[in-house]
């Protein structure tokens, strides 16, 4: 069970690490972090570094491909090297997945045309420009392609995928070992539920 997680400059850490903490428990799992070049890759805040053990060019197969999102994803929507590699991996993978704006990279690679998909709520227009239909769900399965909404939903996606791969009992055991029992102190985790004051607070800081 070879799981390949793509990394790129200014990725969002939880997009990659959340699913990693789930999928690494799958029976026989081998997790490979891959980037344009092997070595350190900084997240969107610049303060956290993950190490890619392989370059894209050296990874020719996988069972599960996971593409995280983050601010850096938008800068790569016309990167022929990355998009070509994503298409090649999709050609041999059992599952092709994304978290947050990682779905934009799947879309730019031509993998979401005519499919329902999800992404971060702030990137819906870009997602649909690639021929996908946005669905306001945390996890969307479309055949072998699985997309997750913003950041934290990557954990939900990975658990749902673990259930498809190894069965519900194994997925429940993984959920137990990571003690994933979310009880958020606020009910503001989606645009549909967040109070206007929270939206205004955020808008002033991301202009």
Question: Which residues are designated catalytic?
Answer: 100
Angle at 17 between CA 51 and CA 179, to 5 degrees: 140
Three state DSSP letters for the chain: CEEEEECCCCECHHHHHHHHHHHCCCCCCEEEEEECCCEEEEECCCCCEEEECEEHHHCCCCCEEEECCCHHHHCCCCCHHHHHHHHHHHHHCCEEEEECCHHHHHHHCCCCCCCEECCCHHHHHHHHHCCCEECCCCEEEECCEEEECCCCHHHHHHHHHHHHHHCHHHHHHHHHHCCCCCCCCCCCCCCCCCCHHHHHHHHCCCC
């Amino acid at each position: 069970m070879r799981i390949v997680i793509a990394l790129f400059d200014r990725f969002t850490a939880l997009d990659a690490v959340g699913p990693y903490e789930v999928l690494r428990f799958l029976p026989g799992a081998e997790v490979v972090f891959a980037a344009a070049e092997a070595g350190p890759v900084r997240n969107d805040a610049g303060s956290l570094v993950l190490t890619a053990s392989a370059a894209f060019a050296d990874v020719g197969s996988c069972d599960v491909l996971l593409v995280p999102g983050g601010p850096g994803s938008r800068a790569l929507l016309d990167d022929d090297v990355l998009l070509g590699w994503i298409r090649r991996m999709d050609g041999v993978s059992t599952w092709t997945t994304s978290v947050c704006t990682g779905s934009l990279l799947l879309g730019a690679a031509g993998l979401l045309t005519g499919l329902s998909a999800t992404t971060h709520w702030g990137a819906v227009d870009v997602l649909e420009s690639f021929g996908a239909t946005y669905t306001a769900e945390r996890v969307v399965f479309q055949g072998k392609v699985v997309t997750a909404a913003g950041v934290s939903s990557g954990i939900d996606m990975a658990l749902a995928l673990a259930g498809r791969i190894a069965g519900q009992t194994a997925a429940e055991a993984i959920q137990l070992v990571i003690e994933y029992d979310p009880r958020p102190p606020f009910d503001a985790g989606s645009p549909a539920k967040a109070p206007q004051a929270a939206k205004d607070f955020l808008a002033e800081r991301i202009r």
